[in-house]
Structure 1
Amino acid sequence: MKKKQQRPRMSPPKFLAIGFVTIALIGTFLLMLPISGEQGIHTRLVDAFFTAVSAISVTGLTVVDTGTHWSTFGQIVILMLIQLGGLGFMTSATWIALVLNRRISLRERMILQEAMGQYQIQGIVDLIRRVLVYAFTIEGIGAFLLTLRFWKEMPLTDALYLGVFQSVSIFNNAGFDLLGSIHGPFTGFVIYGTDPILNIINMCLIFLGGIGFIVMFDVMEFPKCRKLSLHSKVVLSVSGALILIGAFALFALEFSNPKTLGSLSYPQKVMASFFQSITSRSGGISTINIGELQQSSQFFLIMLMFIGAAPGSTGGGIKVTTFAVLVGSVITMIKGKRDVVLFRNRISEAIVYKAVTLTIISLLVLVGFSMFLSATESSDFLTILFEAVSAFCTVGLSMGLSTELTDVGKFTVAILMLLGRLGPLTLAYALNRKRYKDLYRHPEGRIIIG
């Protein structure tokens, strides 16, 4: 008697990809319900889908104002999608399983390993516990501080609701805000551009959400072991350098622009420059009008958005570690050396190949989608490119194109956000059924480069 063949299980990358799409579709259905719209307004499929994908991918691009279009129920749905997207639905499911004292299977641990970007499966459940504790602690502190600040302008219950929503949204680098219900649709945080307290709180939340939980753990353990991992050193050093370079560049380029920094005092210009530098790599909120920036500044923000945040964080982009490996590879080639070395550690060829592959795939995706959007949307190419990079790198900054997109453009940008949240390599692995190991090597050939 023949044994019944077992149906092959989905690989962890494919499971994650299908999981994110499924949650996005569930969110779309919930947001289309009349109860989700303010005063029972029915939301069109394309707008609900765009919003759900933007929330689950923690991007923050919006086609309708979050504070005025959605009811409290709709806003809570968006908030839950942001939390699921920021932590990862497998992380959230593991937390529920732990609360119910259910055993985490080996397959579930493998999926968690893929979701968290870890090299080994050992200790993955303990890592998830710490992720949840750190995330909820930071979000709680942020909510408390924001509530105290908003309490000056509104009743305590309203301030508490706004504080919780904004803390979760900003820490997860989502970029959604409810300020439209207070200061008018799509006003965002521009009206608070000169408020030092709110700026500092938001910058801290964005930075903590963007460096990743692994780096947080290392920093917390540093007083005991007096040592940081190579990953943490690279993330902290490159992130710090990009923040300083970004702030200096924006300060210099926008210093005399009356529509952005020109009308601010010197300390306010410095604060605004640092805020835009930090948020541009994944935050999604801004304190100046991005559409009023000089074209040179807008293009510079595109480069910062493309680099993005750290692996294992709530941010997107090709990641600062990928950027560090690419820069290290260029320096190695210029010096005529063989190995890429970061902080006296040799980087393996496999990691270098992965960094190059990820960057090239990302560039090809952005080129293809930008060309398509330039054919469907009536806007200049820089605006379209900015929107495409912001969507794919899950940043959420916009020059104003989101609300003017056609239905085709909305679906296109939504797909870009999903691709960006899943990651090009994860998606490629998900679509690849089998990975074969070469049984032989071809003879070496030579071609001329340059």
Structure 2
Amino acid sequence: MSGRKRSRVDGNEKEPYLESLKPLRQRCETGSTPERAGQKKSCMHDTCRIAGTKQLPNSWSFFEQMSCWADTQHSVNQVSEHLRSGRHNDDICLDESVTKKFWQFHRDITEESGAHVKQHAWGVIESREEVVMYGPYHPDYHKGEHSEDIIIAQTQDLLQSQSASQGRAVYVFTVNSPCLARNARACMLNLVHKAHEWWRKYGVKTRVGYLKCWGFKGTKEHLFKGVNHSQVDFVDQNQDHGSYVTAAEKTEMTPLSEVVFAAVKNSPRSAAFAWGSIAQGQDWKSHFKNMRSVFESVPEEEKNICTQETDAVVEAARVLLSDKRESFEGYLERGRAFALGYAFSSRLSAALQAQIRLRFRQCWEEMAKDRCAELIREKLTEDFNQRTVQLFIKDIAMFTKEYLEIGRIPIPEDAPQVDLLHTFDAD
């Protein structure tokens, strides 16, 4: 729309806090919803009155569905059942026209406020007359405040203060999808509730776009913390969970749950990994601490020489930690070849050189296994979070399609000014 006005709300000004919302089940257990035994009281809360109107089809089913998602343990079980079933994991993206809108607004906001790396959110209210952009806002976890809380409060204030205008739409962008679990009311549930309120009061449709699925806990999801390289190999050797548990009982290995077993079994694993991030960690050399045990029994006067030689070989191995994609077996072979060809000082005896080469290969293999397992856990967690968000969207889509769209925003090849593939941490 050419000639549109643009107004900008200062992202640093004090924002009103979102008033806490009572659980949906509590709010809607009386009133104009279908009568239950013993329910005679009427409820005048907005959402309960909405449930009795014709504006929201199957309203009681909708509020029951929302109440289920407000019960985190129930919704975790729902996602776990989906994992156990092995059903396909379909991505839910916003359509192309909406996606283009988001990237257009993203470019405008980035030009004005600069690129923002960590979790943030911004909003836009668009009408035929003008476009009002606000944000970006960052979370304040010390106050228990998420970036979506600020967006919701700011949107509410702006809609109340603006004169009525036909064809208005609200766009809410957040790097990570709105949370589905927190001590306070989850952001995703808040947004669904407010989207219906804005539609009913102001005739506004809301679109929520995100770059990465956060699920319940994001990268802090601990469901897969027990998965290591040996567990993955053991899962691959067994066809079903029953045979896996039987086989595990004959070993010292702690068996994975049926849900985690199914997730590992059904997860496609890349034949090659990029291993360079090992070198980015401060403690990558800790994988080689055991190398010093080689010379524990040597005379004291030789220990200093052995320490220097061992430290030198580990430091020299840093060049192997490139970003080149390589298979696990290929990475092991790279370490073996390095150990075999490394030239030690003549101050070390041939016997000590052989022992250090052997111990280096063992430490290298353990490091490769740990990194491989870490990458697998990351992929499993990403898949779990994606399923969580997608199941939620599918559960509510039939009730909210008139006034709310939620979906991932595909990242275009010319993603503007920020490395969006590596900036999704919440803190």
TM-score normalized with structure 2 length: 0.21
Identify, as 1 or 2, the structure richer in helix.
Answer: 1
Larger Rg: 2
RCO higher in 1 or 2 (8 Å CA, sep ≥ 6)? 2
Identify, as 1 or 2, the structure richer in strand.
Answer: 2
TM-score normalized with structure 1 length: 0.21
